[in-house]
A and B are shown apart, each in its own frame.
Chain A
């Protein structure tokens, strides 16, 4: 006999434990999907989750993919904590990459220590400005930020497409849809010879530290948390709601812009159509899986980065379509949301004997 009771308060340990339940359920679900597709599930899961990180190169690739996910998710955690649904991080990433890439292209034939900081700054500002559009429309025109931020994703991708095909395309590039290569001064320094992992990871780590400090040690962080829990309380306390919305969107956009700049000055080295495999959307899952907690997000970004990497490996070795990565990511979020049920409700399994005694 099963009895369901509402909990009075959420146990903290369980709050951080349920993401692990979600991950285990996703792996099981993935095994079932592989089985249906006609693969040996154990072997497929091995190629998916173990082979990719069984050597140093693979591990560097994992960190490379986790870097933008972590950065964006950190930014999104500010928005989500305060009940602002910015789901257009992919657009802010793209626009940040456009602005940062534009600056890098200005210096394409120059070298200098000042170039990379300028490019990074430009990218952050680009992302920030782009995120301000839904924020301003939300605060001053009462417009739904979900739809606006999402529409802007399509707009930014079309703008990037226009630039790399048209005015910014490489004059010596035989009409390929790509820009010139950036100069070495615009590239993120590599951390190890022969590996692709680059200095961008320090940006992500800095973002983690800064966000932890902001969220838990400052007045702004307090405002954000209170507004997230109850808008009425926030109003009653006299918080400036509009300013806060603008600020969280700016933080979130800047982080996404940094992620975009990290990609183009890191592994890519130029602008072209495919600068992000939907990192901006996947980071939404990372933010939730990490419980909107800075350190949780580090862990979650590594897990989700593994689904990207595993999908690539599984495609090479087993010809499993790489889109399984997205299916895994969707499943993680489904299972995470489902396991939240355990947070709010106590599921008691009563033995019959006890029941009989009671009657």
Chain B
């Protein structure tokens, strides 16, 4: 295997592709968490997005419907979480876990008839430029529209949180729901919206896996990416741009271990496959050691139940 310049370009392109579901899911969860809601159901929402996207693609043969439908299905399933945690004031952690267990079961049930069906090719943009420009071609061009959206999303999220009024409202609700409520902000409504938005992004992240990254339906195909996305939000200390960096690091590890497997590296395959999970633990340890830094950035009311006496 030669390490020439065009190969590195292709490698970077594939790292970007593998980080897309992490960026989407983590950016969505980041908004949810900034509003003070800890939704551990990311894995469940992603897998529901993956199966509904794939099923809609097979049934309607229309990729646009499939993508939009996957986001809608993420929204629908996150409504359950929103209703329980916001209207019935249930514990966020337990409800999120229930959402993940429910989502994995439901997706396998719905997906029973879709196993083994080949996926459809997803259109890529600027495919001619990809071939003609060395190095930068495979990095910048020839990707799906979802990838471009994913790479813009952290910047959009950053702008939203820091520069817009609505972003300020979201942060206020997350940091001090009581004072936000006293200012006349409908805390529950804001949190509902953030939960549903998180659901939509997780649904899209799942659809990226089943429609674009590995176009087929496999049970449990998210394989813990939802949990890694949750870890990424902590890693990024709730900052959107750092989510992007973290997702690229994880994408890099994933691609690296695949390449090591391919060239027959002498380490057993299973150890290489375990790398992203081990890496998550190591990164969490390194980040969390400085407890002051974590505390400073964590949305103050994260995971706490807000109840307003009527």
Contacts and interface: CB of A to CB of B under 8 A. Distances in A.
Interface of A: 4, 6, 85, 87, 137, 141-144, 146-148, 150-152, 154-155, 158-159, 161-162, 165-166, 281-282, 284-285, 288, 321, 323-331, 333-334, 337-338, 340-341, 344
Given A6-B309, A142-B288, A146-B93, A154 B277 contact: yes
A207 B262 CA distance: 47
Given A142-B288, A144-B234, A147-B234, A338 B90 contact: yes
Q: Which of A166, A288, A325, A327 has the most CB of B within 10 A?
A: A327
A147 B227 contact: yes
A329 B89 CA distance: 21
Contacts of A144: 231, 234, 284, 288
Contact of A341 (B89, B109, B289, B291): B89
B281 to A, nearest CB: 5
A159 B88 contact: no
Contacts of B309: 6
Query: Which DSSP category, helix, strand, loop or mixed, fits chain B's interface?
Result: helix
Interface stretch (B98-106, B138-146, B183-191): B98-106
Given A333-B94, A337-B88, A327 B102 contact: yes
A147 B101 contact: no
B284 A158 contact: no
Contacts of A282: 101
Contacts of A162: 268-271
A147 B104 contact: no
B84 A150 contact: no
Contacts of B80: 334
A15 to B, nearest CB: 15
Interface in B270-303: 270-271, 273-274, 277-278, 280-281, 284-285, 288-289, 291, 294
Contacts, number: 130
A154 B269 CA distance: 14
Given A147-B227, A158-B273, 6 more contacts: A142-B294, A154-B223, A159-B270, A329-B102, A330-B99, A337-B84
Interface residues of B, number: 46
B24 to A, nearest CB: 19
A119 B198 CA distance: 46
A330 B281 contact: no
A165 B280 CA distance: 26
B138 to A, nearest CB: 30
Contact of A334 (B84, B223, B294): B84
A151 B280 contact: yes
A330 B268 contact: no
Contact of B274 (A142, A154, A165, A333): A154
Contacts of A142: 288-289, 291, 294
Contacts of B103: 330
Nearest to B90: A337
Q: Which of A155, A282, A324 has the most CB of B within 10 A?
A: A155
Contact of B98 (A4, A165, A334): A334
A146 B42 CA distance: 13
A137 B270 contact: no
B25 interface: no
Contact of B289 (A141, A146, A338, A340): A141
A288 B94 contact: yes
B108 interface: yes
Contacts of A341: 88-90
B95 A337 contact: yes
Contact of A159 (B40, B274, B289): B274
